[in-house]
Amino acid sequence: MVGIIMGSKSDLGIMEQAADFLKSLEIPYELTVVSAHRTPERLFDYSKTAKKRGLKVIIAGAGGAAHLPGMVASCTTLPVIGVPILSSNSIDGWDSVLSILQMPSGIPVATVALNGATNAGILAAKIMATSDENLAKKLEDFQNSLTEKVLGTVDEIKD
Ligand code: RP5
């Protein structure tokens, strides 16, 4: 089970891309809003009960002063994947990228690219696949499909 959280409902358009990938591999997930600044008690409750509730990985996305992934990581031993989001009043996304990326030593967040929610879903699936051979096979098929897709374009470009 993967937990997907975001700082605001306005992040949903990006974060549901992580959910879409998990769904495509039939990985169960939950998806909800948890704001580090507007619902701090909910953040503590969510992250401190996450493991007990059966979550194995948490994907956390936020824009601007994006403290959600780091704060969640500080409250759980589960791996946390951070998704920086380009929000409407952002400084080109750098505010979010750096807030999530520049974690202090001891509390890592695996940070994907700006708006990189699909990759966050893939990374979560890869973590789950370390103890699930069936899932590992599905990921292998997925990666092979990427290779075939690119090779399929090779002949389309003639000298
Ligand atoms: C962050 O501020 C959220 O993650 C969102 O990306 C950004 C803007 O939030 P709203 O003002 O749209 O709720 O906390």
- Alpha helices, DSSP H, located in the chain: 12-24, 40-49, 68-74, 94-101, 117-129, 133-154
Q: Report the CATH number that the domain containing residue 38 is assigned in CATH.
A: 3.40.50.1970
Looking from the CA of residue 7, the nearest atom of ligand 1 is 4
Rounded to whole angstroms, the Cα distance separating 52 from 143 reads 32
Which domain range does residue 43 map to? Answer: 2-154
Q: What is the pTM of this model?
A: 0.96
Rounded to whole angstroms, the Cα distance separating 31 from 68 reads 14
Residue 41 maps to a domain: yes
Question: ipTM for the complex?
Answer: 0.95
Residue 159 maps to a domain: no
Q: Would the pLDDT of 159 be above 70?
A: no
Residue 117 maps to a domain: yes
38 labeled binding residue: yes
Report which of 80, 133, 128, 86 is spatially closest to residue 108, judged by C-alpha positions: 80
- Edge-first strand listing for the sheet containing 80-85: 29-33, 2-6, 57-63, 80-85, 110-111
Choose one of 11, 15, 67 to mutate for the ligand 1 pocket test, by most ligand atoms within 8 angstroms of C-beta.
11
- The amino acid at residue 146 is L
Into how many domains does the chain fold? 1
Write out residues with Cβ below 6 Å of ligand 1.
Answer: 6-8, 10-11, 35, 62-64, 85, 87
The 10s digit of each residue's pLDDT in 129-155 is: 999 999 999 999 999 999 999 999 988
Residue 82 maps to a domain: yes
Residue 77 maps to a domain: yes
**Residue 81: CB partners within 8 Å, gap ≥ 6?**
57, 58, 59, 60, 69, 109, 110, 111, 112, 120, 123, 124
Higher pLDDT, 125 or 155: 125
Residue 103 maps to a domain: yes
